[in-house]
Structure 1
């Protein structure tokens, strides 16, 4: 079966000069539903691959107001569901309130992006309250629903896990206003709980919360920071949550004058707050570390008195310039997105809960990002992290690297010239006893052929390349984060 679900009103001009709306980033204008009876399959889809791989992406619908950053576009989900050697693909735009308002205005942008908040004429969303809530960064399955959000904090959008239809904002969305929900919320599949944080420009500057396995808000508390921050990720262990206060944020003196200037304060230490899962501002314990910036964590876990946090540190931190944009705006965007420029690599921070000591360890020096572990391994001791490799000079994912943190070895698969992937996910086999006993999945776009596909690799032997490739109905745009939804979690958490 192959059908067109909807034709979308994309009004981005074909000749627009923004490189982040061209090529790999060109918006998708059609929503499809297709299954493998009508898609080309190269190789064999494993019979024991059961669940759904979902990736979010920024799919800008209309000519932007001002300078467009690739994190500004409307959210669109791409999902492929597997069972019994068969697969069904869908892509659906996330129909946020902002998108509906712009569609109702005849297909024009009503809000600026993250780089030019001063151009806002309407009340918006995000930490700066000036952007459209695009829900285009993260997507996670929880309590039988998909939850999508943007990195600048927006409303928690609920999407139907079977059809990808936008159902609106979660019931608990109003309770976490005015800051909303930041991307990189984490699910503990053992308890069914979802942990999240948000941030904003007014005191206390951060909040932390827990959603129960039943999908209801169970815990929501303020976390006091010294001032407004721009954190991006958080970590969880079996007992704790780790929150970030990093020295890359708006200059506080200029912010008091209404000027938003992101600055790396190289003499200001990084701080990490380890809080009991249902703790609060009184029970959080702060640890200091060398100045740094972090976008994404691989995993966190406990070991005796120590809490370990592994992630990708930026050796030369980069953040987007916010404010008046010049003629070099696109080059500056490319500069801060280039992982080789920021020299992002695997690193470990270790916090002693008894003595307050912090230890820091370089795990690997190769440039990688978007680290992932299997869902059932999140928050627990682990051996493997699956990271993306990047083409120098661009934000293009050129391959995947499997780290063996026990032996120091690695495996890799590079996609080939002008072929670029997505954040990978690990789909464990039912009954798996090892954390790489399953499959590695990614969406890939071949710019040579202007086509996209899904790659399925054996997670135990990444070097061998794909065991199957599924050619999609059309080329898809570059994406952000992804999730794997196990077949037995499609309708709800296992412990609900």
Structure 2
């Protein structure tokens, strides 16, 4: 493996850092690498796997002003590109305005999510509550031929070259971008090339929704009025509709009036807004459901007069009361503490009624479907299982929602994986005729690998294992971009 060290960020974290989310599997990187051909340590790469797997991770380089949260880390994208039975690798920091300013200053300048906005040392800032650094470290998709990274609590959308990972700058549509920013989990419809997005903040109407076409032109933007500030994290789309949400877990209103930001579960139902993909305020249909919070939806589709939505229902959205102040913000990210279950909601557009059902009892999250069925009825959800008590993925599971069966890939102790990318095989006709790609972090062996699995049977183990040049940090979201979505691939 011929490895090139391309760059190194200024880093002021201590070498003996023992923060639970800046050490072990969350130990951040500060170096950028390039490998033209990765070593295959087991199996063989399929010749028909063509495209790029992108993964976003949090990689802090400076101590926080007061207190660190794992979602505060600087964005770093990893890319494994597959072509002709070979694979290459690159990783790059997302060079946001905040990252560049803190590199120049040599310290943190903005507040993290677990810090008061008042501690920020620099003017301005980002985030739905303001004064935060836009790390662009949460999500990544490919739209209009470019990788697009985003921040979980609203910020700029940063564009990267999907092959070199060079940062191309913040997004602006004819020089315009929403004042409230855009949340993570923009959605791209592979069938039309459109990208759907939403953003939220502290000022009425509190939520906006927009559409960008396949040529990266803003073609629709509308308010979605709410009764007050809410904290949506994801959305979904069908062939004709989009689904937005307002869950009862949001900032404590009494504390918010005094300038403090603390989560609270309110005595309210979950609310879902269903509207046409180019619909406005008058087209919104609101549906109510049992109280919960949902971080991620898997898919949505239409069945007759119903819009069907699937995602991960939380039985315990708020942290347990017996957790100390020092640990609650970390423990509540664990799947078994949130009690996340695959769940389905049905919204009847004629009667206005909602029906819902639990699909699984197992704690899973970060579910991905084959992009060929995005916005349409699906059979398989490829999700992650969690290490008890920690925000770490200790294996993968394929939920067959038609048959009611599951197939697992269980990783060895101390090895953790990422959200998968689903890569349909050449000429595929079946939904599970695809490969799954994930990156692993092995703490004991101090290494990371890329695994390629057959989606039809992940329990058989990897089709191929490839060695990365350095152990990478755990992180959040990933994306598969087929060669056809990548200009200049040939």
**TM category, shorter:** over 0.9
The question of whether the paired residues in 2 share the 8 Å contact of 1:274 and 1:284 is answered with yes
User: Is residue 455 of structure 2 the alignment partner of residue 456 of structure 1?
Assistant: no
Which position in structure 2 is the counterpart of 1:350?
346
Which position in structure 2 is the counterpart of 1:59?
59
SS in 1 for 2:281: coil
Deviation at 1:39, TM superposition (A): 2.6
TM-score normalised by length of structure 2: 0.96
Gaps of 5+ in 1: 322-326
Which position in structure 1 is the counterpart of 2:210?
209
Give me the whole-angstrom Cα distance separating, in 1, the residues matched to 2:217 and 2:381: 31
TM-score normalised by length of structure 1: 0.95
Deviation at 1:40, TM superposition (A): 4.1
Which position in structure 1 is the counterpart of 2:239?
238
CA RMSD of aligned residues (A): 1.7
Give me the whole-angstrom Cα distance separating, in 2, the residues matched to 1:70 and 1:330: 13
- Alignment of structure 1 residues 127-138 onto 2, 5 Å: 127-138=128-139
The question of whether the paired residues in 1 share the 8 Å contact of 2:50 and 2:482 is answered with yes
Which position in structure 1 is the counterpart of 2:274?
274
- Alignment of structure 1 residues 30-429 onto 2, 5 Å: 30-36=31-37, 39-105=39-105, 107-117=106-116, 118-121=118-121, 122-172=123-173, 175-265=176-266, 267-318=267-318, 328-429=324-425
Relative distance call for 1:174 and 1:261 in structure 2 (3 A) is farther
Deviation at 1:275, TM superposition (A): 0.9
Deviation at 1:479, TM superposition (A): 1.0
Give me the whole-angstrom Cα distance separating, in 1, the residues matched to 2:250 and 2:14: 34
Give me the whole-angstrom Cα distance separating, in 1, the residues matched to 2:272 and 2:49: 37
Give me the whole-angstrom Cα distance separating, in 2, the residues matched to 1:66 and 1:165: 31
Deviation at 1:173, TM superposition (A): 8.6
User: Is residue 487 of structure 2 the alignment partner of residue 488 of structure 1?
Assistant: no
Q: Which deviations, in whole Å up to 9, do the C-alpha atoms of 1:14-53 show, x marking residues without a partner?
A: 22342111111111021111033x5343210000101010
The question of whether the paired residues in 1 share the 8 Å contact of 2:319 and 2:337 is answered with no
Q: Which deviations, in whole Å up to 9, do the C-alpha atoms of 1:184-236 show, x marking residues without a partner?
A: 11111111100010110111101000010001111111110110011110010
The question of whether the paired residues in 2 share the 8 Å contact of 1:154 and 1:181 is answered with yes
SS in 1 for 2:109: coil
The question of whether the paired residues in 2 share the 8 Å contact of 1:61 and 1:74 is answered with yes
Q: Which deviations, in whole Å up to 9, do the C-alpha atoms of 1:287-322 show, x marking residues without a partner?
A: 00111100001111100001111000100113699x
The question of whether the paired residues in 2 share the 8 Å contact of 1:39 and 1:473 is answered with no
Give me the whole-angstrom Cα distance separating, in 2, the residues matched to 1:156 and 1:210: 14
The question of whether the paired residues in 1 share the 8 Å contact of 2:40 and 2:464 is answered with no
The question of whether the paired residues in 2 share the 8 Å contact of 1:320 and 1:333 is answered with no
The question of whether the paired residues in 1 share the 8 Å contact of 2:127 and 2:153 is answered with yes
Q: Which deviations, in whole Å up to 9, do the C-alpha atoms of 1:151-175 show, x marking residues without a partner?
A: 1001010101120000111122953
SS in 2 for 1:104: helix
Give me the whole-angstrom Cα distance separating, in 2, the residues matched to 1:436 and 1:31: 34
Give me the whole-angstrom Cα distance separating, in 1, the residues matched to 2:301 and 2:394: 29
Give me the whole-angstrom Cα distance separating, in 1, the residues matched to 2:358 and 2:175: 41
The question of whether the paired residues in 1 share the 8 Å contact of 2:441 and 2:448 is answered with yes
Relative distance call for 1:484 and 1:194 in structure 2 (3 A) is same
SS in 2 for 1:333: helix
Q: Which deviations, in whole Å up to 9, do the C-alpha atoms of 1:450-485 show, x marking residues without a partner?
A: 100000010011110101000100000011100000
Deviation at 1:69, TM superposition (A): 0.3
